[in-house]
Amino acid sequence: MLTRIDHIGIACFDLDKTVEFYRATYGFEVFHSEVNEEQGVREAMLKINETSDGGASYLQLLEPTREDSAVGKWLAKNGEGVHHIAFGTADVDADADAIRDKGVRVLYDEPRTGSMGSRITFLHPKDCHGVLTELVTAAPPAATDH
């Protein structure tokens, strides 16, 4: 069962400049940053608030590290802006299977590693009224403690 909006993904050309805009304009600070080589992005997660299920809601700012990444291709075609919406779930595998059974294309056969050690998959935007949709199961708290 989907429990919350986990994050809104925003594609940008310059991560540092975009982070500074959100910090200066709204007071949002970087909660976590990383480079995801598999996805070909450098990202910053800006925490917006805590949620009742123990998770949080974020803005995820994404800068491609290579032109052939999904975000790089998307930016070349669309420019900066909202790239996707992500819903939190306790079980990405079960929810992806249930949604697949309803005729929605799930883009990965098996979930992949996402931000902060999460498990993720995406739903095809053509099956979701034009919105690239991500399903996210957060990593257990011990996995994100450093």
Catalytic residue IDs: 7, 43, 60, 84, 134
Between CA 55 and CA 87 the distance in angstroms is 11
Q: Which residues pair with 121 in a beta bridge?
A: 135
Indicate the helix (H) or strand (E) that contains 99. Answer: helix 92-101
Cβ neighbours of residue 9 closer than 8 Å, sequence gap 6 or more: 60, 62, 82, 83, 84, 85, 86, 134
Sort strands 41-50 and 112-113 into parallel, antiparallel or unpaired.
unpaired
